[in-house]
Amino acid sequence: MTRVFHEQGILFGYRHPQSSATACILSLFQMTNETLNIWTHLLPFWFFVWRFVTTLYVTDVQNDSYSWPLLVYMSTSCVYPLASSCAHTFSSMSKNARHICYFLDYGAVNLFSLGSAIAYSAYTFPDALVRTTFYDYYVTLAVLNTIVSTGLSCYSRFLELQRPRLCKMLRVLAFAYPYTWDSLPIFYRLFLFPGESAQNEATVYHQKHMVLTLLASFFYSAHLPERLAPGCFDYIGHSHQLFHVCVILATHIQMEAILLDKTLRKEWLLANSRALSFPQIAGAILLCLIFSLINIIYFSAALYRIPEPELRKKET
């Protein structure tokens, strides 16, 4: 097994590093060290699709502009689990396919980050921050964050073998700082206690979401428990599976919090906040998609520009 496919603390259960697409799909029904990575996001994908479709069914999309940010958020919550499960499914086709799969995965995660920011700007901002400069530029900077984060996370894969610690640090940073930016209104609301309208039943859900996100970050960066007992958690219970479970639970809790804020704060928000228009929402999503794809195409092309002797040197 070449080093590019090897995961810390995982000794067994690897698929052939040049699997066909058919073999990758069939591996969903075989026990490998990727099987639960796939299913822990593939099954929630269908759950989030069901949530999105049922919400779409009861919403007057054309006239209910107040619900547009929610629908954008819920659609992006469907994209990232699907992209993740596809990445884990097809990552064993070749070393370059593995990198490209995860480039797409990173782009989907950042699209979800932007979807969260759009929903937060519409429903969760505390009273004191509505109609401030921070509020006005919050989504704009969230778009910039997704572009930089996608580029940084893609670049980190080129350091995976030669400088693994720097690679992990850059990748964690690439996902941590957009989350931190997106969550600033929540942090303000939880810890500085402004305005009565922002203090409702959703607050507890925001707290739970924060705890689950921190727990997911811990599993992603620590490689526990498999690092302490290599070979014992190859198929069930390794850190990436636990990371997936925490991320999905965090998204579910976040969705409940946003739905509560949307319902309970509707009267106050409609009277006091400046809602995002359709062109603003569509423009933000479009910019994110365009520049993320540019990042992905650039770094994918770079994989084929690396001289073959250098590739062999990195893999040994």
Annotated binding site for Zn(2+): 88, 240, 244
Which helix H or strand E contains 255, and what residues bound it? helix 239-264
What does the CA dihedral 152, 158, 163, 167 come to, rounded to 10 degrees? 30
CB neighbours of 214 closer than 8 A, spacing ≥ 6?
none
Query: Which two three-digit tokens encode residue 173?
Result: 């940073």
CB 298 within 8 A of CB 152: no
* Percentages (nearest 5) of helix, strand, coil residues in the chain: 75, 0, 25
Extended strands (E) in 129-200: none
State the CB neighbour count (10 A cutoff) for residue 150: 29
Sequence-distant (6+) residues with CB within 8 A of 298 are: none
Taken in order 235, 38, 173, 49, is the CA torsion positive or negative? negative
- Contact criterion met (CB below 8 Å) for 242 and 222: no
